[in-house]
Structure 1
Amino acid sequence: MKRLLTILLLISVVSISFGQGYKEKKEKIKALKVAYITEKLSLSTEEAQKFWPIYNTFDEKQFEIRHNKLRKVMDKIENGGIENISEKEAQSLISEMESNEDEMHQLKKKFIQDLQKVLPAKKIILLKKSEDEFNRKLLREFRERKGK
Structure 2
Amino acid sequence: MKRHIRRSLRIILFAAGLLSISLTGAFASVPDGPEGPHGHGDEIRNMKIAFFTDALQLTPEQSEKFWPVYNAYWNARREVGKKRREVYKIIREGRAGEQQFKDLLGIMDAERKVTSDYIARFRQILPAAKAAKVFVADEDFKNFLIRKAASGGPRK
Q: Structure 1 length normalisation: TM-score?
A: 0.74
2:54 corresponds in structure 1 to 39
1:72 corresponds in structure 2 to 86
| Matched residues, number | 130
RMSD over equivalenced CA pairs, Å: 2.8
2:98 corresponds in structure 1 to 91
- Kindly state the Cα deviation for residue 61 of structure 1 after the two structures are TM-superposed: 1.1
1:10 corresponds in structure 2 to 19
Structure 1 unmatched ranges of 5 or more? 16-20
1:145 corresponds in structure 2 to 152
1:56 corresponds in structure 2 to 71
Structure 2 unmatched ranges of 5 or more? 1-13, 25-35
| Structure with more contact order per residue of length (Cα contacts < 8 Å, sep ≥ 6) | 1
Query: Partners of 1:137 and 1:41 in 2: how far apart?
Result: 16
- 1:1-59 Cα distance to aligned partner (Å, 9 max, x none): xxxx99754334779xxxxx617334432332122101211111111111111111011
Ranges of 4+ aligned residues in structure 1 off by more than 3 Å = 5-10, 12-15
1:131 corresponds in structure 2 to 138
From 105, 118, 123, the equivalent of 1:116 is 123
Q: Structure 2 length normalisation: TM-score?
A: 0.70
- 1:68-117 Cα distance to aligned partner (Å, 9 max, x none): 20111111122x1xxx44xxx43211111111111111111110111111
1:18 corresponds in structure 2 to none
CA 1:27/1:63 → structure 2, altered by over 3 Å: closer, same or farther?
Answer: farther
Query: Partners of 1:92 and 1:26 in 2: how far apart?
Result: 37
- Kindly state the Cα deviation for residue 119 of structure 1 after the two structures are TM-superposed: 0.5
- Kindly state the Cα deviation for residue 145 of structure 1 after the two structures are TM-superposed: 3.2
